[in-house]
Amino acid sequence: MKKLTGAVLLVGSPQNMPDIRYATGFTAPDPVVFLQEGRKKHLVVSLLELERARRVTKNVTIWAAEALKIRGKFNRTLSGWTSGLLRQLEIRAVVVPPEFPIAVAEKLRQSGIRVRVSESTLFPQRQIKTDEELARIAECQRAAVQAMLAAVRHLALAHVDGKGFLRVDMNLVTSETIRALINKVLLDHHCMGQGTIVAGGPQAADPHEVGFGPLRYGESIVIDIFPQHLDHGYWGDLTRTVVKGAPSAALQKIYHAVKAAHAAALSMVKAGVTASRVHEAAVSVIRRRGFQNSVTDGKTQGFIHSTGHGVGLNIHEMPRVGLRSARLKTGNVITVEPGLYYREIGSVRIEDLIVVTPTGWKPLAVCEHFFQV
């Protein structure tokens, strides 16, 4: 925790606010109020959640909203819960995150509470993963590897029909069938895959397109698997790009450029290194191989995103690995995922999830590389 001039206040659904889950171990879809003053943590939940909150948290004082004894209808709102807690604890100044709900802030200010908006994250320690957190992320990443292997094996089994479509037995192999297969393996590992990407050919030129329809011979197929664990809520993140049959020479060139960029970026990773340099290493390999970013009619082509991002209780969290990024620290968990995206030729992304160490990095789980399957 950074030094703060007031108590840290968070209000909202823990499911959408990993800071609350991080600080307390408690999660729920319905909103709660969290307050931390020094090392003392408080959580206000509805009476319905009281016992569960007491059981799953450690060193957190749990308050039933209904027991905060605020007069009138006020105690039925989140503002009421918050005011009640602050009054109980005689707290007159709070620090809130940038995304704090404005209506609650305004109510607090009207009642004389000083509300300061923090410019940065209130839980920077989330970027340094503990051994327990690493074990949880590794669990998700192993699930992703198993799902990837199942998907690639299925594609390897496929044959090509007269129209260039992939089939297993008589059935078309589609983005949807491969995605269903992946999500099933994830579920076997108590993870869910929401938004699993299996995008073939031109579809993959849009890095967030999940993919749909039949997969074809000779086209690149980007498979991006990012499972969230159903119990503890940590994430994994893994991407491979494969092609069934013979890729064009241009697609091969793209694949090898991305693979080299991936290796170059990884070779830079070490505690103390500025994350921008990891990104620059990937960019530099890609440029040297003759690939440039371009935007035509609002359509982007080339290496159109940053090299990576942190992963933990959020799928995208700090630290960033891109332009103007900060120094890496031991215990950071980051993706390294350069990519090249071309509507005409195809797209390739290769992504691994690693933990930063004093001397380099370790993978959270190992997945071999494959291209032609």
Of positions 102, 169, 249, 290, contacts its own copies by CB under 8 A: 102
Give residues with Cβ within 8 angstroms of 262, minimum separation 6: 282, 336, 337, 338, 350, 351, 352
The answer to whether 2 contacts its own copies (rule: CB under 8 A) is: no
Terminal alpha carbon distance of the chain: 48
The answer to whether 71 contacts its own copies (rule: CB under 8 A) is: no
Residues 15-44 that bind its own copies (CB under 8 A): 16, 28-30
Instruction: Let me know: does 350 contact 254? Beta carbons within 8 Å.
Output: no
Q: What minimum distance in Å lies between the beta carbon of 255 and its own copies?
A: 21
**Residue among 136, 124, 121 nearest 355 (CA):** 136
CA–CA gap between residue 370 and residue 328 (Å, rounded):
29
Residues 189-208 that bind its own copies (CB under 8 A): 190, 192, 194-195, 206-208
Task: Find the part of the chain contacting its own copies (CB under 8 A) among 130-138, 183-191, 256-264, 364-372.
Answer: 183-191
Give residues with Cβ within 8 angstroms of 155, minimum separation 6: 166, 173, 178, 215, 221, 242, 244, 373
How is residue 32 written in tokens? 């709660």
The answer to whether 114 contacts its own copies (rule: CB under 8 A) is: no
CA–CA gap between residue 328 and residue 325 (Å, rounded):
9
Distances (CA, A) of 312 to 177, 196, 292, 354, 355: 28, 17, 32, 12, 11
The answer to whether 316 contacts its own copies (rule: CB under 8 A) is: yes
The answer to whether 51 contacts its own copies (rule: CB under 8 A) is: yes
Task: Find the part of the chain contacting its own copies (CB under 8 A) among 45-53, 129-137, 284-292, 344-352.
Answer: 45-53
User: Contact letters (x/-) for its own copies, 221-260, by CB under 8 A?
Assistant: ---------x------------------------------
The residues of the shown chain that bind its own copies, judged by CB under 8 A, are 12-13, 16, 28-30, 47-52, 64, 67, 96, 98-106, 115, 117, 119, 180, 183-184, 187, 190, 192, 194-195, 206-209, 230, 295, 298-300, 304-305, 315-316
